[in-house]
Amino acid sequence: SIPLGLYAGLGKASKMGALIKGGNYLELLKDVDTVVFDKTGTLTQGQFDVVEVNGQDDLLMYGAYGEFYSNHPIAKSIVAKYGQSIDENQIDDFKEIAGKGIDVKIQGKHVCLGNESFFEDMNIQVKEPKTVGTIVYVAIDGQFAGSIVVADQIKESTMKGIQLLKEVGIKNTVMLTGDHHRVANDVAQKLGIDTVYSELLPQDKVQQVEKLLKQDGYVAFVGDGINDAPVLARADIGIAMGGVGSDAAIEAADVVLMQDNIETIKDAIIISHKTNKVLK
Ligand code: ADP
Ligand code: MG
């Protein structure tokens, strides 16, 4: 059975919004020195807005039809911006490639939507827009047709949350993302994140966490998405966003942040230190 100090600690943590799935994780939290974050939906709101469309008049229509079956937050922003009803009979052969984009047929045309790396794979040259944001390139029948720029906002609680972690002894804050390095570096710089790894595929995120696990100290990973579940499981402590998080992420996590607020991690670490003192 778990000592009473741990029960009290777990109860206190849950009152502050951190649901900890076992006394062992509460004990371990005080020894964490590296906290790794997924960017989208964890540090940022995970809700994109379309900020620019470059190309022919019906480019946004192709974007919305192409993204219609995707659950990605980028897809949702493009469908919302289009705002018109979608005739599903005109969409065929929908394929989503994780960390890259969409390959689909729309009105019989072969349409691809996604990032630079995806277009490099297909050998399609792109024209990069100047606007800062995540760029979704569009190709129609193998020809570059334009781009849709989307942007996400940093969550209000993130800036403070990162600062507070440093105050409770976290030595290394790390950001992992599939997004372009320009967007990734911009967010990391604004937040004072120590280390950034960008343009990662879901499997690269697991590998990167495994490398960090080989170093001294314990590693926490904080994420929200379906793609994050393997990374959450792999870290010493997996922390999921409870509100925006997918069921798979909440299931795979050791700690769930009920208010999606990373400031709560600091509270949990403090409770971990105090609980330890009671035990001794
Ligand atoms: P994150 O690490 O931000 O969660 P993902 O692994 O979900 O990123 O995606 C990485 C990148 O792949 C995105 O920034 C985007 O460029 C591209 N991408 C993924 N899914 C889509 C999609 N449905 N439409 C367009 N681009 C996509
Ligand atoms: Mg993600």
pLDDT tens-digit profile, the chain (280 residues): 556 688 899 999 999 999 999 999 999 999 999 999 999 989 999 899 999 999 999 999 999 999 999 989 999 999 999 999 999 999 999 999 989 999 999 999 999 999 999 999 999 999 999 998 999 999 999 999 999 999 999 999 999 999 999 999 999 999 999 999 999 999 999 999 999 999 999 889 999 999 999 988 899 999 987 678 889 999 999 999 888 767 888 888 999 999 999 999 999 999 999 986 555 5
Q: Is 75 in the pocket of ligand 1 (CB under 6 A)?
A: yes
Q: What's residue 240's pLDDT?
A: 94
The region, left, alpha or beta by phi > 0 then psi within -120 to 50, assigned to residue 235 is: beta
What's the confidence (pLDDT) of residue 227? Answer: 76
Instruction: Give the closest ligand to the alpha carbon of residue 118.
Output: 1
Looking at residue 279, its pLDDT comes to 54
Indicate whether residue 178 lines ligand 1 (CB < 6 A): yes
CATH architecture of 4-44+154-279: 3-Layer(aba) Sandwich (3.40)
The CB of 134 under 6 Å from ligand 1? The reply is: yes
Q: How far apart are the C-alpha atoms of 109 and 93, rounded to whole Å?
A: 11
Between CA 152 and CA 246 the distance in angstroms is: 19
CA of 253 to the centre of ligand 2 (A): 15
Report how far residue 138's alpha carbon sits from residue 136's, in angstroms, rounded to the nearest whole number: 7
The C-alpha atoms of residue 268 and residue 6 are separated, in whole angstroms, by: 12
**Diameter over CA atoms, the chain:** 70
CATH class of 49-151: alpha beta
Q: What is the pLDDT of residue 51?
A: 97
Using the structure block, give the residue that is written with the tokens 């192709």: 62
Q: What ranges do the domains of the chain cover?
A: 4-44+154-279, 49-151
Q: What is the CA radius of gyration of the chain?
A: 21
CA of 250 to the centre of ligand 2 (A): 14
* The ligand 1 atom nearest the CA atom of 67: 23
Q: Annotated catalytic sites, by residue?
A: 38
Q: If you measure from the C-alpha of residue 100 to the centroid of ligand 1, how many angstroms do you get, rounded to a whole number? A: 6
Residue 277: its pLDDT value, please? Answer: 59
What six digits make up the tokens of 185? Answer: 């570096």
Q: Which residues in 214-249 are b (16+ Cβ under 10 Å) and which e?
A: eeeebbbbbbbbbbbbbbbbbbbbbbbbbebbbebb
User: Given its phi and psi angles, is residue 179 left (phi above 0), alpha (psi -120 to 50 degrees) or beta?
Assistant: beta
Question: How many residues are recorded in the chain?
Answer: 280
Is the C-beta atom of 101 inside 6 A of ligand 1? yes
Confidence at residue 173, expressed as pLDDT on a 0 to 100 scale? 97
Q: Look up residue 268 and give its two tokens.
A: 């949990």
* Distance of CA 278 from the midpoint of ligand 2 (Å): 38
Say whether the ipTM exceeds 0.95. Answer: yes
Ligand nearest to the CA of 228: 2
Look at residues 35, 24, 39 and name the one whose alpha carbon lies nearest to residue 218: 35
53, 68, 100, 153, best to mutate for ligand 1 pocket (most atoms within 8 Å of CB): 100
H helix count then E strand count, the chain: 11, 13
Q: Is residue 77 in contact with ligand 1, taking CB distance under 6 Å?
A: no
Listed residue (147, 86, 143) closest to 115, CA to CA: 147
> Residue 40 is encoded by which pair of tokens?
């989208």
Examine domains 4-44+154-279 and 49-151 and report if their fold is the same: no
Exposed, middle or buried: residue 80 (CB in 10 Å: 0-12, 13-18, 19+)? Answer: middle
